[in-house]
Amino acid sequence: MRQLTFVRHGKLEWREVPAPRIEGPGEALVRPIVVATCDLDAVMLAAPSPLFRGPFPIGHEFIAEVAEVGEAVRSVRPGDRVVVPFQLSCGACGRCRRGLTGSCETVPHRSMYGLGRLGGSHGGALSDLVRVPFAEHMLVAVPDGVAPVTVASASDNLPDAWRTVGPALRERPGATVLVVGGSAASIGLYAAGMAVALGAGAVDYLDTDLGRLRLAERLGANPVDGPPPRRLGPYAVTVDASGDPAGLACALRSLEPEGVCTGSAIYFGQGVPLPLWEMYDGCVTFRTGRAHVRRDIPEVLALIGAGRFRPEVVTGAVVGWEDAPEALLEPGVKTVVVRDPAA
């Protein structure tokens, strides 16, 4: 079969590799039909990094058609269209039962599709077939009436955004929200749009990129142009999607007492100072870390299926399967690769 392979920074190519096979009764094989770029893909493709050394199969946000199922799989059948979480999880261990599906005890730590040695050897989404263990738990049906292109990022960036605002707004309906945009580009925009959809009292989106500011406005947020100041607000909920220590500090300082900041940006190897006195003095909470995407995929699909949130606003380009090697190297917030554009 063919798979798109990350060879090195700036070089992707199709390669022939052995096709995966079902290795147990609870597994499935799926055929990816729609693949989205993740914010981490943009980082990986933008510059060389010791974390991402090729060759390895690329792609980890995808909608797929079920091709084959093991004898113990009952919840899906061939032909079904499903979201495939980018993190592997069993659904049965103690952590999975607590909702910590990104830290499953059954699989090796950080088991993920499409991220090379960082995530293990599990294949990539831009392939003819992908093997899915624990298929009863892992695979989530795409709702009727929802286009696969619309939910292309439901494997990762969409639930990553939801966890930054969804739980806090459920606990405090009508709370005010600040999103500091930047390197986690689509996550920040999705978070702003979801906060609006979830009924936040006000949603401000801070960024220096005019294109992202326009997208935030289309999603219903108030665009705030400029670099991160020392403090804005105060807000009950803030999101750091900046990847900038100044942006993180702004998000933390901009909280009202007992406010919550969630960091979705990744600070690779950086010693990032925190305004600990202001955080202590305000009794605030800071959450950072990997999302538990399988847990939150149903929340995202429900929000989109109800017509309350339109993630396709963030998509900058939809391209054909054969154009993927060139299209993924082009800058943009979100690129979606479709196997059959006519479909």
**Whole-model pTM over 0.85:** yes
Residue tagged 């936040």 (tokens)? 200
Q: Which two tokens stand for residue 144?
A: 């009727």
Q: Which two tokens stand for residue 253?
A: 């300082």
CA dihedral of residues 142, 189, 40, 269 (deg, nearest 10): -140
CATH of range 2-156+293-338; options 3.90.330.10, 3.40.640.10, 3.90.180.10, 3.90.480.20: 3.90.180.10
SS percent in the chain: helix, strand, coil, step 5: 30, 25, 45
List pLDDT tens digits, range 109-160: 999 999 988 888 899 999 999 999 999 999 999 999 999 999 999 999 999 9
| pLDDT level of residue 233 (50, 70, 90 thresholds) | confident
List pLDDT tens digits, range 10-52: 899 999 999 999 999 999 999 999 999 999 888 888 777 777 8
The ranges assigned to domains in the chain are 2-156+293-338, 157-288
CA 147 – CA 138 distance, rounded (Å): 20
Q: Residue 196's pLDDT is what? A: 98
Nearest residue to 224 (alpha-carbon basis) of 241, 205, 210: 205
Question: Using CB atoms within 10 A of its CB, is residue 67 exposed (0-12), middle (13-18) or buried (19+)?
Answer: middle
Nearest residue to 180 (alpha-carbon basis) of 124, 237, 134: 237
Q: Residue 50's pLDDT is what? A: 75
Q: Residue 147's pLDDT is what? A: 96
List pLDDT tens digits, range 268-326: 877 899 999 999 999 999 999 999 999 999 999 999 999 999 999 999 999 999 999 99
Q: Residue 51's pLDDT is what? A: 77
Architecture of domain 157-288: 3-Layer(aba) Sandwich (3.40)
List pLDDT tens digits, range 182-220: 999 999 999 999 999 999 999 999 999 999 999 999 999
